[in-house]
Structure 1
Amino acid sequence: MAVHKIMIRKATSEDAQEIVAIYAPYVVKTTISFEQSVPDVAEFTKRITSTLQNYPYYIAQDEDENIWGYAYAGAYNSRTSYELTAEISVYVKQNSEHEGIGTILYKALEDQLKKQNVVNLLSNITAGNQKSEKFHEKHGFKRVGYLPHVGYKFDSWHDVIWMQKALYSDPTYPGRFIPFSKFSYGD
């Protein structure tokens, strides 16, 4: 499947239905997501709106406005001391995993999160998801944690790994976290 020119834009509530369609197979058929049932459009609308207050939520679409994937960031922990660390996620349409869409989305997230003074990125991955591990390693993430038997889905326990990437090589404090809502997309 050849995807043409991909453009990144900020998600809107109008994207919720297509996002659900991309996400649903991950919930129903895999342990990539530990959700037990597919959230409805209203729930995804709420998630998009809530995320955009503080973090980017991006859509990858082609010139015909077909949505091929999405990515977003969120708080790793709600305590202020963790405000410069974000957890990120990416989902692409199944059968388009090798089109570079995830890479384009992660690049957009990283660029924006740097502007928000985020220093560390974390990704929570179900152990055994080799595609995701290799994808993250390719983009500079290192495996930093392993939690056995923390997720239960499809009648069995699943382990989780944490991967981390530093956005800055200099550990100097860049300043307080700046919420995404303070930016005009494209700044």
Structure 2
Amino acid sequence: MTQKPEEVQVRPGAEADLAPLTDLYNHYVRETAVTFDTAVFTPEQRRPWLHSHPEDGPHRLLVAWTGDAIAGYATSGPFRPKPAYATSVEASVYLAPHAVGRGIGTLLYDALFAALAEERVHRAFAGIALPNEASVRLHERFGFRRIGEFTEAGWKFGRYWDVRWYEKRLGPGHGHPPG
């Protein structure tokens, strides 16, 4: 008898997701160089981040759940704070350890880029701390192209880490500035 794969639900992030999202992110803070944050967060400290991703607009937060467990999330957030960058976003995906290698990152990015297709966003950028072959493969699968590397850009766990930057041109109609 074959076991049916567990259904994955992808939806916009909500207040009820704050604690599990914080726990998931803290895993990456504590255990990896995927993020250059070095101190874990409380849910209260992460609340402004959660609220900076409304259900509409270019700054999105999509959450994947399998049953009652968070499987991951994808975000598009401001690339840089200056106004001329308003049509650019930085995209990222974080997966729970139990969800890695199950296609959930692909589901999250499918949903994220479908949502961004309705927005006035011209470019998506992604920075990947190296080595991280799974993230490189995911981004390249979604049409991101390598644009450069910052060498020894971050210090964590007693060593320097390089960051490779990627960009993705977004679909037709995305060349128009906001307004």
1:70 and 2:60 correspond: no
For residue 153 of structure 1, what is the aligned residue in structure 2? 156
For residues 12 and 45 of structure 1, the distance between their equivalents in structure 2, rounded to whole angstroms, comes to 10
Per-residue deviation, 1:101:
0.8
**Aligned partner letter, 2:27:** P
- In structure 1, the gaps of 5 or more residues are 178-187
Per-residue deviation, 1:174:
2.8
TM-score, normalised to structure 1, is 0.85
- 2:121·2:175 contact (CA, 8 Å) conserved in 1? no
For residues 133 and 37 of structure 1, the distance between their equivalents in structure 2, rounded to whole angstroms, comes to 25
Mark the CA change 1:3 to 1:24 in structure 2 (over 3 Å): closer, same or farther. farther
Which deviations, in whole Å up to 9, do the C-alpha atoms of 1:136-175 show, x marking residues without a partner?
Answer: 112211111111111010111111110111112x587334
Per-residue deviation, 1:126:
0.4
For residue 107 of structure 2, what is the aligned residue in structure 1? 104
Q: What secondary structure does 1:45 align onto?
A: helix
**Aligned partner letter, 2:137:** K
For residue 41 of structure 2, what is the aligned residue in structure 1? 39
Q: What secondary structure does 1:162 align onto?
A: strand
Per-residue deviation, 1:132:
0.9
For residue 58 of structure 1, what is the aligned residue in structure 2? 62
Per-residue deviation, 1:25:
2.0
For residues 46 and 171 of structure 1, the distance between their equivalents in structure 2, rounded to whole angstroms, comes to 31
Equivalent in 121, 130, 133 of residue 127 of structure 1:
130
For residues 87 and 122 of structure 2, the distance between their equivalents in structure 1, rounded to whole angstroms, comes to 5
Which deviations, in whole Å up to 9, do the C-alpha atoms of 1:51-93 show, x marking residues without a partner?
Answer: 328511111113x343211111111112222211100111111
For residue 139 of structure 1, what is the aligned residue in structure 2? 142
- 2:120·2:174 contact (CA, 8 Å) conserved in 1? no
C-alpha RMSD over aligned residues: 2.1
For residue 79 of structure 1, what is the aligned residue in structure 2? 82
Q: What secondary structure does 1:95 align onto?
A: helix
Equivalent in 94, 97, 104 of residue 97 of structure 2:
94
- 1:88·1:121 contact (CA, 8 Å) conserved in 2? yes
Q: What secondary structure does 2:117 align onto?
A: helix
- 1:71·1:90 contact (CA, 8 Å) conserved in 2? yes
- In structure 2, the gaps of 5 or more residues are none
**Aligned partner letter, 2:65:** Q
For residues 31 and 17 of structure 2, the distance between their equivalents in structure 1, rounded to whole angstroms, comes to 22
For residues 79 and 37 of structure 1, the distance between their equivalents in structure 2, rounded to whole angstroms, comes to 27
- 1:149·1:157 contact (CA, 8 Å) conserved in 2? yes
Mark the CA change 1:7 to 1:172 in structure 2 (over 3 Å): closer, same or farther. closer
**Aligned partner letter, 1:118:** V
**Aligned partner letter, 2:42:** D
- 2:74·2:109 contact (CA, 8 Å) conserved in 1? yes
